Amino acid sequence: MKIKEPRKIRAILKIQSEMRKILAEHLRKKGFIEISPVILSPMTDPLNHPTMPGDVTCYGKQYHLTQSMIFHKQIAMKFLEKIFIFSPNIRIEHPDRKKTGRHLFEFTQLDLEVRGASREDMMNLCEELITDVIATIKRDCKTELDLLARRLKIPKKPFKQIHYEDAYKKYGKNFETMISKTHDGPVWIIDIPLKSREFYDREDPEKPGFLRDMDLIYPEGYGEALSGGEREYDYERIKTRIHKKGQKLSQFKEYMQVAKDDLPPSAGFGIGIERLTRFICGLKSIEDASLFPKVPGKYGI
Ligand code: AMP
Ligand code: MG
């Protein structure tokens, strides 16, 4: 952490711990089951930006460190209807991301998935979840928020929505930063073009070339909060999308075996816990949202 005052460090960690409790309780009340994180797997999220490989050899076989649990969430839908995971992710981001204030190479996502859900179901759930966390922290962590000089506003529902293309036209290629800096409540970006995302995001059958997915942008310049959407579940369409991305089926062999048999339709999202902590506590950098931060390009314990 850059912050050195023990009282402030304690306040941040107390708020983060409360946040985890509120999030988990909210989801449990809605019938979600928490499953354990997966750390090692032969397959992981290929992401839409380059990261350096985090690989480990066990018994002569190669495993990837989890970049996200997307494939495991989809597979879990065969057995469970609503799941969440506090999922540690390792993404060895380019060292250029050192100064963004919102990237770590080890972080935790609250990752969730719901069988048969639509993007709109997930947006509603997310709005309820975020307003609950903010309202409860405001009520129960007053001393800590005062110490951090953070004034939190409870956002009004429904959150504003902007189509990706309109955002691009209005604000240019840095639209995410611009939207974040110019709004005082969270903003949804919807209908993201197919080429900008991963193969597992479901294409909108009524709007070919665009996805049934969304990003949430925090206000006050804090940037992206989460990404999510509906998932592709049809084996042939998944195959086509993998090829379109120039990726190899063999990279996702175990996932494809399940998809061939049966992958239920689902939707979900993943929200970064450290980014949420940064926003709720009003921190300059994500580095202050973790006791042992791993900042891209830097050595950390
Ligand atoms: P993604 O699906 O790649 O957008 O990741 C889901 C969420 O995880 C993001 O919206 C962020 O909240 C969080 N996240 C992703 N990458 C990082 C990172 N390098 N450091 C911290 N949080 C991250
Ligand atoms: Mg994202």
- Per-residue pLDDT of the chain (301 residues), as tens digits, is 889 999 999 999 999 999 999 999 999 999 999 999 999 999 999 999 999 999 999 999 999 999 999 999 999 999 999 999 999 999 999 999 999 999 999 999 999 999 999 999 999 999 999 999 999 999 999 999 999 999 999 999 999 999 999 999 999 999 999 999 999 999 999 999 999 999 999 999 999 999 999 999 999 999 999 999 999 999 999 999 999 999 999 999 999 999 999 999 999 999 999 999 999 999 999 999 999 999 999 999 9
Say which ligand is closest to the CA of 102. 1
Q: Is the CB of 293 within 6 Å of ligand 1?
A: no
Judged on CB neighbours under 10 Å (0-12, 13-18, 19+), 192 is buried
pLDDT digits (tens, 9 = 90+) for 259-272: 999 999 999 999 99
Using the mean position of ligand 2's atoms as its centre, give its distance from the Cα of residue 6 in Å: 32
Q: Is residue 298 part of a domain?
A: no
Q: Is the CB of 290 within 6 Å of ligand 1?
A: no
Give the mutation target among 52, 92, 97, 107 for probing the ligand 1 site: most ligand atoms within 8 A of CB: 107
Please answer whether residues 293 and 105 qualify as being in contact, where contact means their C-beta atoms are separated by less than 8 angstroms. Answer: no
Using the mean position of ligand 2's atoms as its centre, give its distance from the Cα of residue 160 in Å: 18
pLDDT digits (tens, 9 = 90+) for 58-109: 999 999 999 999 999 999 999 999 999 999 999 999 999 999 999 999 999 9
Backbone angles phi, psi at 62, to 5 degrees: -95, 135
Cα–Cα distances in angstroms (integers) from residue 104 to residues 93, 107, 276, 282, in the given order: 8, 6, 13, 17
Report the C-alpha gap between 223 and 215 in whole angstroms: 10
Nearest alpha carbon, ligand 1 atom 17: 103
Q: Total structural domains in the chain?
A: 1
Report the C-alpha gap between 88 and 273 in whole angstroms: 10
Nearest alpha carbon, ligand 1 atom 4: 227
Nearest alpha carbon, ligand 1 atom 15: 272
Per DSSP, the residues of the chain read: -----HHHHHHHHHHHHHHHHHHHHHHHHTT-EE-----EES-----SS--B--EEEETTEEEEEPS--HHHHHHHTTT-SEEEEEEEEE-B--GGGGGSSS--SEEEEEEEEEET--HHHHHHHHHHHHHHHHHHHHHH-HHHHHHTT----PPPSSPEEEEHHHHHHHH-TTHHHHHHHH-SS-EEEE--BGGGS-TTBPBPTTSTTBBSEEEEEETTTTEEEEEEEEB---HHHHHHHHHHTT--GGGGHHHHHHHHH----EEEEEEEHHHHHHHHHT-S-GGGG-SS---TTS---
Using the mean position of ligand 2's atoms as its centre, give its distance from the Cα of residue 5 in Å: 32
Q: Is residue 299 part of a domain?
A: no
Tokens 């090829």 correspond to: 243
Nearest alpha carbon, ligand 1 atom 14: 272
Question: 13: which 2 tokens?
Answer: 């960690």
What's the pLDDT at 1? Answer: 87
Q: What is the mean pLDDT of the chain?
A: 97
Nearest alpha carbon, ligand 1 atom 22: 272
What's the pLDDT at 25? Answer: 98
What's the pLDDT at 14? Answer: 98
Using the mean position of ligand 1's atoms as its centre, give its distance from the Cα of residue 86 in Å: 13
Using the mean position of ligand 2's atoms as its centre, give its distance from the Cα of residue 248 in Å: 22
Q: Is the CB of 227 within 6 Å of ligand 1?
A: yes
Which is the closest atom of ligand 1 to the Cα of 111? 6
Q: What is the CATH number of the domain that holds 184?
A: 3.30.930.10
Give the count of alpha carbons within 13 A of 268, CB side only.
Answer: 32
Q: Is residue 1 part of a domain?
A: no
What's the pLDDT at 222? Answer: 98
Q: Is residue 294 part of a domain?
A: no
What's the pLDDT at 278? Answer: 98
Per DSSP, the residues of 223-244 read: EEEEEEEEB---HHHHHHHHHH
Report the C-alpha gap between 270 and 74 in whole angstroms: 13
Q: Is residue 143 part of a domain?
A: yes
pTM of the model: 0.97
Q: Is residue 107 part of a domain?
A: yes
Q: Is the CB of 103 within 6 Å of ligand 1?
A: yes
Q: Is residue 125 part of a domain?
A: yes
Backbone angles phi, psi at 50, to 5 degrees: -70, 135
Q: Is residue 296 part of a domain?
A: no
Task: Provide the domain limits for residue 200.
Answer: 6-289
Q: In what order do the strands lie in the sheet with 55-58?
A: 40-41, 61-65, 55-58
Say which ligand is closest to the CA of 48. 1
Please answer whether residues 24 and 47 qualify as being in contact, where contact means their C-beta atoms are separated by less than 8 angstroms. Answer: no
Q: Is the CB of 107 within 6 Å of ligand 1?
A: yes
- Please name the amino acid found at residue 111: D
Nearest alpha carbon, ligand 1 atom 9: 226
